[in-house]
Structure 1
Amino acid sequence: MTSTLLWSLIAVQIAMGAFDTLYHHELTERLAWRPSQRGELRLHAVRNWLYALLFLTLGFAEPKGLLAWAIMGVLIVEVVITLMDFVEEDLSRRLPATERVNHTLLALNYGAILVLILPVLLGWAGEATGIAWVSHGAWSVLALAASLSVALFGLRDWFAAVRSERLGLPAPAGLADMLAPARTILVTGATGFVGQRLVASLVAAGHEVTVLTRDGAKAAALPAPLRIVTSLDQVPDDARLDAIVNLAGEPIADGLWTRAKRRAILASRLRMTRGLAKLVARLDRPPTVVVSGSAVGWYGLRGDESLTESSPAAPAFTQRVCEAWEREAMAIAALGPRVVLLRTGLVLGIEGGLLARLLMPFEFGLGGRIGSGRQWMSWISRDDLVRLICHMIATPTLHGPVNGTAPEPVRNADFAASLARHLHRPAIAPLPARLLRRLGGDFAEEMLLGGQRVLPEKALASGFAFRHAQLESALGSILGRNVVREAEARSSRAVVHAGE
């Protein structure tokens, strides 16, 4: 089989498949850490192993007789698995446009490969059963590299599918158990990382939830029953709202802070908060409480100083954004509701946020500290943050700023070491501060290299109990394993063996 055209199409298939795996499956969609994609991961694993067999065979052999028929059978099975994968993807997740386009091109290119290769295989099928070993030079080298790569990723996908069985989220209803009796709650930003879990918890606990969203398709994936509105004008004046939770805003950590990005970050928060103020003003009965988002960026960059809700701020872009956002939210208090300002730290979970971005590089052994690693990281598990929001709604004495962080912030180097330990990987690939500053400017300085040592003084004083006050506990729960318990188990086994 010496057709340059055929091998060129195979090379294109390899390149598009590598792009799909690395960019979509690993980098943007993070399928290996999504429990919902267990079936898709298993299909990917089997398909990768079939591709490994095909690449090796076509690169170094000419199968004859029954062996040629076997290879044609593998090609047919690959088509069936791909069709099953399409169905699984449509049922379990929303594919980005680039992935859909890439899948279409892969299917078309694979069809062209079949048109060229089937006549060759049929010719070989008419000969006596056996294998003729051949070499196609550089094409064989490409086939070998591709075979080894897809075989390794097949193993990764299979073990990721096995691991996903212990990554399932705990039942959401228990996160809102302090909210009784049932309440009516409006949530903005409901399709975001925190909003999705909050809505799931409220709905599961029997509360009547209305979500405001511009993305109807994402909102449709939220658990029922709930009411979806695309504009606050759709909420009637006589609507009963016991509480409003405002989490909406342009993501602040998903790209560099260009001038347009800075304007969008600030404008989106102010526009939504002002809209909520107008809603509260026209309601026949205003809600009892409004929980409005903010962030620990309000404090600016403060080094090693311990920060509570009474600490002053230092100038920074995030500080200016949070200050303006909080000022607009506090204006709602004059209309009657109790207003709580949720100053959120780094929210940990595998479905989004910082941790989700770190999992892939750390799992591939490319993780490490950022800069010096001495900057403080004020973090909170997503479920504890959802519980804290519900606690804010249920606790009449809470008002004004409340820090949404765990009681034990950690330095970045300790965070990296802990994450690496949970993934059984080294943390030996630091990100240089000079490079980050050159590439990211203020974004890198405030979001990566700077930090705040924030303590949840008001949350603790109000009686809130964190389920995960320590990072080890949080990562153990989120990643489906507990390093501390494993270490204790190993120690116990060592003591038993020593006694023997």
Structure 2
Amino acid sequence: MNILITGATGLIGSHLCKHLANHHKLVVLTRRKEKAFTTLGHHIDAHESLDDIDFNNIDCVINLAGEPIADKRWTASQKNKIEASRWHITEQIAEKINAATTPPHTFISGSAIGFYGRQNEPVTEHDNQPFDEYSHQLCKKWEQLALNTASDKTRVCILRTGIVLAKKGGALGKMVPPFQFYLGGPIADGKQYMSWIHINDMVNIILFLIENQSMQGVFNATAPNPVTNNEFSKSLGNALNRPSLLRMPEFVLRLLFGEMADLLVFGQAVLPKAMNDAGFKFQYPELKPALENVLSGR
């Protein structure tokens, strides 16, 4: 197949491209071609504008682009970057699909478990009472742009992704250093749930959706066993042979990150019901072996 990928040089995209490259032609939308070639190899077909891509010759679109949401304080300008990097590219892709005579048969578009907002009980794709805060508003419009605009012409799958665990980069890239220096520990009261997924399972979910063309709609890309922040911190400390004693108070997070601290202080236990119902088998359903795998060799 001819597969168009946005966000191909990111954490998920770069791992996904390694799995797709041997069997498919990869067309990559990137802001910097040289970075894309360095990261992914020169076998890809890299473009800096969607206008240079003929959607009549694309079989599948995988939209993973997006400014990191938890890197900086949510100032007005930072929110604009976060929104534009998700909404504009998704809208443009949907427009290209609609304009095509022979459009892609599949559009897999990213979202996040932030759609649900803060939650006190486990949630699945069928729960319709999200907490109305910024993360929900961001993801809701992001999803609607894909579902409402493109679904008349192609199959649309939405991925609500949790915390992705990988050897390099991502959330662990920020979590591990404090633990290595004996400064790690839970955040706030530690009772908030963390919904995570191993990078291998993340990639395999996307491959599963590409192959099973009867599947469409919303899918939670999370492992089936979320844990509290207390449990996650203890497991991470054990995997690194470090203590998990130094708790980060909520007021410090508020001082450092403002509204963005909501992502750290509040959580949700998101269950992958749709993937389980479809028969998908997780390689890493439990946190301990997942952390041991991604931290091996450190």
Assess same fold via TM > 0.5.
yes
1:235 counterpart = 2:53: yes
Cα distance in structure 2, aligned partners of 1:433 and 1:480: 31
Are the equivalent residues in 2 in contact too, given 1:377–1:409 (CA < 8 A)?
Answer: yes
1:287 counterpart = 2:104: yes
SS at match of 2:68: coil
Alignment of 1:95-114 (within 5 A): none
Aligned to 1:211: 28
Q: Indicate which of 179, 188, 210 corresponds to 1:393.
A: 210
Cα distance in structure 1, aligned partners of 2:82 and 2:142: 10
Are the equivalent residues in 2 in contact too, given 1:280–1:335 (CA < 8 A)?
Answer: no
Structure number, greater radius of gyration:
1
Shift in CA distance, 282/333, structure 1 to aligned 2, threshold 3 Å: closer
Aligned to 2:264: 448
Alignment of 1:206-285 (within 5 A): 206-221=23-38, 222-236=40-54, 238-239=56-57, 241-285=58-102
Kindly provide the amino acid, as one letter, of the partner of residue 267 in structure 1.
Answer: A
Q: Indicate which of 262, 280, 286 corresponds to 1:464.
A: 280
Residues 151-185 of structure 1: CA distance to partner in whole angstroms, max 9, x if unpaired? xxxxxxxxxxxxxxxxxxxxxxxxxxxxxxxx211
Q: Indicate which of 2, 5, 19 corresponds to 1:201.
A: 19
Residues 32-89 of structure 1: CA distance to partner in whole angstroms, max 9, x if unpaired? xxxxxxxxxxxxxxxxxxxxxxxxxxxxxxxxxxxxxxxxxxxxxxxxxxxxxxxxxx
Cα distance in structure 1, aligned partners of 2:225 and 2:53: 41
Aligned to 1:488: none
Q: Which structure exhibits the higher relative contact order, with contacts defined as CA atoms closer than 8 Å and separated by 6 or more residues?
A: 2
Shift in CA distance, 258/291, structure 1 to aligned 2, threshold 3 Å: same
Shift of 1:224: 4.1
Q: Indicate which of 174, 187, 190 corresponds to 2:8.
A: 190
Alignment of 1:61-100 (within 5 A): none
Cα distance in structure 1, aligned partners of 2:285 and 2:220: 14
Shift of 1:475: 0.7
Aligned to 1:19: none
Q: Indicate which of 347, 355, 370 corresponds to 2:172.
A: 355
Shift of 1:351: 1.5
Shift of 1:397: 2.9
Cα distance in structure 2, aligned partners of 1:292 and 1:384: 17
Shift of 1:258: 0.5
Shift of 1:209: 0.7
Aligned to 1:155: none
Cα distance in structure 1, aligned partners of 2:151 and 2:165: 34
1:380 counterpart = 2:202: no
Shift of 1:237: 5.2
Cα distance in structure 1, aligned partners of 2:270 and 2:151: 29
Cα distance in structure 2, aligned partners of 1:382 and 1:339: 22
Normalised by the length of structure 2, the TM-score is 0.96
Residues 124-147 of structure 1: CA distance to partner in whole angstroms, max 9, x if unpaired? xxxxxxxxxxxxxxxxxxxxxxxx
Kindly provide the amino acid, as one letter, of the partner of residue 480 in structure 1.
Answer: S
SS at match of 1:307: coil
SS at match of 1:297: helix
Cα distance in structure 1, aligned partners of 2:151 and 2:288: 42
1:416 counterpart = 2:233: yes
Kindly provide the amino acid, as one letter, of the partner of residue 53 in structure 2.
Answer: V
Aligned to 1:49: none
Alignment of 1:26-37 (within 5 A): none
Residues 440-470 of structure 1: CA distance to partner in whole angstroms, max 9, x if unpaired? 222112x111001000000011111000000
Are the equivalent residues in 2 in contact too, given 1:332–1:339 (CA < 8 A)?
Answer: no
Are the equivalent residues in 2 in contact too, given 1:368–1:430 (CA < 8 A)?
Answer: yes
Cα distance in structure 2, aligned partners of 1:254 and 1:260: 13
Shift of 1:284: 2.7
Kindly provide the amino acid, as one letter, of the partner of residue 51 in structure 2.
Answer: D
Aligned to 1:368: 185
Aligned to 2:219: 402
Cα distance in structure 1, aligned partners of 2:181 and 2:255: 25
Higher helix share: 1
Residues 1-31 of structure 1: CA distance to partner in whole angstroms, max 9, x if unpaired? xxxxxxxxxxxxxxxxxxxxxxxxxxxxxxx
Q: Which runs of 5+ in 1 are unaligned?
A: 1-182, 482-500
Shift in CA distance, 345/334, structure 1 to aligned 2, threshold 3 Å: closer
Are the equivalent residues in 1 in contact too, given 2:98–2:150 (CA < 8 A)?
Answer: no
Report the number of matched residues: 295
Shift in CA distance, 381/334, structure 1 to aligned 2, threshold 3 Å: closer
Cα distance in structure 1, aligned partners of 2:69 and 2:265: 15
Cα distance in structure 1, aligned partners of 2:173 and 2:245: 19
Are the equivalent residues in 1 in contact too, given 2:187–2:249 (CA < 8 A)?
Answer: yes
Cα distance in structure 1, aligned partners of 2:117 and 2:33: 35
Kindly provide the amino acid, as one letter, of the partner of residue 453 in structure 1.
Answer: A
Shift of 1:439: 2.6
Residues 260-316 of structure 1: CA distance to partner in whole angstroms, max 9, x if unpaired? 11111112211101110122123231111100000000001012x010001121111
Shift of 1:434: 1.7
Moved more, 368-377 or 277-286: 277-286
Shift of 1:331: 2.2
Cα distance in structure 1, aligned partners of 2:135 and 2:56: 37
**What is the percent sequence identity of the aligned residues?**
40
Q: Which runs of 5+ in 2 are unaligned?
A: none
